[in-house]
Structure 1
Amino acid sequence: MPSIQRATAALLLVAAVAVAGCERAPAPAAAPTPTEPAQAVEQLIEDLRRNDFAAYARHSVPPALHARLDLAWNEGRTRWPLTELPLDDRLPAFISALAAPGAEKQLLTTYNRQFSGAGAELRSAASTLGLFATQYLRKEGDYSADERAHYAQLVAALSRWGQKAPLGDPQRARRTIPQLVAAARQTGLAGGPDTFRQLGMQRSLERFGPFFARFKQVLVTYGLDVDADLASARATLVERDGDRGRVRLDYTLAGQKIEAHLAVERHEGHWYLSDALRHAETQASAPAAPQPAAQPTR
């Protein structure tokens, strides 16, 4: 397997480990509704810290757009806000593969054959992936200038982390793979995209929350403390002109300082990220997926 493919698969394996456990934490008391642009940004960050994707969805868009997105989800036209995650199109198949019978043995065999002890190659591939992703962000994708500048910093930080992380450590894999398989079977999300549609947006996001929580916990063992990085975030209002403004967001990621500038806008008294609204509107208006052609009967 080429080194880039191996690195990608190894990074996905680390992500997969995160589903172990899937326990639900009690919901905290509702926070006051933010009335200022910086407060709205910090609320979204807190949603991610609490692994509450259902709240994140509610706080990301106005109620009318949220209702349209919920309808689009029920019709199988979107999985927003999971569409904002890397490799979101592979997420249903990934969970189903983890929950499949015999997955523990297969994953351990695959890891031992392809990743175990390949630390040097994986470090080199992480560097290469970082370069490729940076080049992509410069020219491709539906990103604003602010997003490109922000994501380029994220890619650089994660690439440096990947060059140091013990992705080829077989002992970690042996400890975590059986847990992640068991947890995937507990999510109730296995079964492919139709399972997400049948559960609906609210229930699917509630089930995804523990998945994300374990993801962050396991990444700590690989040297990446996402919760600590989220806790470091500080949002500051830079400018405001009526119902539009700009917020500066400062935080650390894998030991690297990140500085992002975010456009915000106010609707019905609440502030939202302009880029998030743009992406959500695209998802709400997504056409239905083409149906497979019917097979002729004999």
Structure 2
Amino acid sequence: MSGDHPSDCVGIDSEQAGKAPGCAGCPNASVCASGKQFDETSQLVEIEKRLRSIKHILLIISGKGGVGKSTFSANLARFLASNESINVGLLDIDICGPSIPRAMGLEGEQVHMSSDGWSPIYIQDNLAVMSSGFLLGSLEDAVIWRGPKKNGLIKQFLKDVDWPPLDYLIIDTPPGTSDEHLSIVSFLKKCANLNGAIVVTTPQEAALLDVRKQIDFANRVGLPIIGLVENMSHFVCSSCHKESFIFKPTSGGAKSLSSSCNIQLLASIPIDPIIGKSIDQGIACWEENKESPAVLAYQSLSKKIIEMFPI
């Protein structure tokens, strides 16, 4: 309730909430009487309890589509889980464009319900995945939902998925600063294990402009930013090993942005054909070439994440 509630307020836990004589004239009377505010609070507590067995929750965000955010999320989850002693979960809340099922080689899989909730899909013993794509008849089906329905599904993912004890839960979000982002931040606000967000961008100013908006969004809603990742940073020739900047950083790229915003630049991941190929085939990118510059960049990043958030 707001700070201008009457001095004789009976509180939201009371059966007389919103109905007691002291509630007359209170702007929150109708909300308290409906029980909605209490219900929302209890659901946040349920989410916190459900996710309590997870040590670290990391959001992957980007201000712009097409920067490879879902590719990054899928690869980060795989590289963290390449250590068999680390348990990883990957949650895809991009409701309208769920690409994680294909990226993880899980097309055609369906979610099963148990007495403990929705069971995630396991790629291996220590890597579990949940996505709205598992709820569609086909990944080609369009999801034409208004905000409240999308937000309801996100809440259900957080409240009802039966995750095992995890060291890391990676949450892949849609691009932008829309309903889904407000929902995920508000739903997780009671979770002390939410470490913050990794912001993914590409070097060109068109992407950085939207990333600045995403950073402003995070600051406004109190979401800590773990660091920046510059995806498709450059291209390394496999023959001569010369670096070429396909997306020329006309304004200094993510390095300049990290300096101006005082945000750590976690990694610069080069363009590599094996990344696109592995995502299309739903396999780990290191199966093609363990010495690829992109593979080495992901290996270095995953080690850095483990050092920042030890298990």
Tell me, yes or no, whether TM beats 0.5.
Answer: no
Normalising by structure 2, what TM-score? 0.23
Instruction: Point out which structure has higher relative CO (alpha carbons under 8 A, 6+ apart).
Output: 1
Normalising by structure 1, we get a TM-score of 0.23
Structure with the larger strand share: 2
Greater share of helix: 1
